[in-house]
Amino acid sequence: MTIREIQERILKLKEEKDFCILAHSYIKREVIEIADIVGDSFKLSRDVCGAKQKNILFCGVHFMAETAKMLNMDKHVYLSNRIAGCPMAEQMEPEMLLYMKKQEPDRAVVAYINTTAALKAHCDVCVTSSSAVQIVKKMQADKILFIPDCNLGAYVKKSVPEKDIKLVQGGCPIHASVTVEEVEAAKAAHPDALLLVHPECVPKVTERADYVGSTSGIINYAKKSDAKQFIIGTEYEIAETLQYECPDKEFFVLSKKLVCPNMKLTTLVDVLNVLEHPENAYEIEMSEEEAAASRKCIDEMLRLG
């Protein structure tokens, strides 16, 4: 079958079998094309709540499907590729967090959404990269423990200096791999381009950016800007998407390392297989108790965001 034929079969099956397909913006373009909802982590977790279909197929990584499940316990939620995980989400065990909470019980715990449901159950509020600064500003607590991304945490700390924010050592191995040397080389190669960077990059990189923002923040900034050239400091798919959508502008990838292998696992054939045989697909299982415990901090994020 050609890519177009697989896409047509998927579009037909998703109607017949009542599926809503969600895709994170880092997913391959041919998969994004068949999705009902595409976006960054915040948009996906907000919009999944409005899905009318009784089945949800998540094209992304495990913690995203888990979040969709805890918000939609009456639905079947599947992950397109069962081994697609996010290494950052698995960096911290609940026991480690419980130990830290015991050491400093007066700190409110803010968790990046890239965390497991088991860890979320012990946090006060979740944030995404697009909502982190706004939510931390709005929180009543002045003393905060921010987990697990120390780079996003450092960006929040700098943007909200009035709060006492403690960080832990963790982060995205893809974004954090970008070096200052790569920034200097990209700027030298494209001196007229604006540098747009994701806050999961290290502070030395974000400090040199013209704009720091989430996946959708970067997309919106580039689309609205009068500038004609941009160096994109987030997953490579975003530069590609922008190049398709803004043919009159030029987009350069900040580093060749900005490819998330986990997000790239999902193929059109994975999606087709789930729709053809949902009984063999990877379905997220969660008890009502687990969902209720971990949903509290997502509900708080949606309330404050």
Residues forming contacts to ligand 13P in the complex (CB under 6 A) are 40-42, 86, 114, 128-130, 172, 200, 214-215
Task: Provide, rounded to whole angstroms, the least separation between the CB of residue 248 and ligand SF4.
Answer: 28
What SS3 state is found at 167? Answer: strand
Is 286 in contact with 70 (CB distance < 8 Å)? yes
Q: Which does 10 bind (CB under 5 to 8 A by kind): ligand 13P, ligand SF4, none?
A: none
Task: Provide, rounded to whole angstroms, the least separation between the CB of residue 58 and ligand SF4.
Answer: 12
Cβ-based nearer residue to ligand SF4, 87 or 203 = 87
Task: Provide, rounded to whole angstroms, the least separation between the CB of residue 126 and ligand 13P.
Answer: 11
Spatial distance between the Cα atoms of 99 and 34, rounded to a whole number of angstroms: 44
Task: Provide, rounded to whole angstroms, the least separation between the CB of residue 41 and ligand SF4.
Answer: 8
Cβ-based nearer residue to ligand SF4, 10 or 113 = 113
Cβ-based nearer residue to ligand 13P, 24 or 107 = 24
Q: Which does 87 bind (CB under 5 to 8 A by kind): ligand SF4, ligand 13P, none?
A: ligand SF4
Cβ-based nearer residue to ligand 13P, 91 or 215 = 215
Q: Which does 111 bind (CB under 5 to 8 A by kind): ligand 13P, ligand SF4, none?
A: none
What SS3 state is found at 93? Answer: coil
Spatial distance between the Cα atoms of 109 and 146, rounded to a whole number of angstroms: 6
Task: Provide, rounded to whole angstroms, the least separation between the CB of residue 69 and ligand 13P.
Answer: 17
Binding site for ligand SF4 (CB under 6 A): 61, 86-88, 114, 172-175, 235, 260, 262-263
Spatial distance between the Cα atoms of 29 and 70, rounded to a whole number of angstroms: 27
Spatial distance between the Cα atoms of 131 and 43, rounded to a whole number of angstroms: 10
Task: Provide, rounded to whole angstroms, the least separation between the CB of residue 195 and ligand 13P.
Answer: 17
Sheet containing 211-212: give its strands across: 211-212, 194-197, 229-233, 250-253
Q: Is 171 left (phi over 0), alpha (psi -120 to 50) or beta?
A: left
Spatial distance between the Cα atoms of 17 and 273, rounded to a whole number of angstroms: 13
Cβ-based nearer residue to ligand SF4, 67 or 114 = 114
Which residues, in sequence order, are bridge partners of residue 143?
164
Q: Which does 80 bind (CB under 5 to 8 A by kind): ligand SF4, ligand 13P, none?
A: none
Is 152 in contact with 129 (CB distance < 8 Å)? yes
Task: Report residue 39 as tokens.
Answer: 């976006």
Q: Which does 41 bind (CB under 5 to 8 A by kind): ligand 13P, ligand SF4, none?
A: ligand 13P
Cβ-based nearer residue to ligand SF4, 46 or 62 = 62
For residue 265, the surrounding DSSP H or E stretch is: none
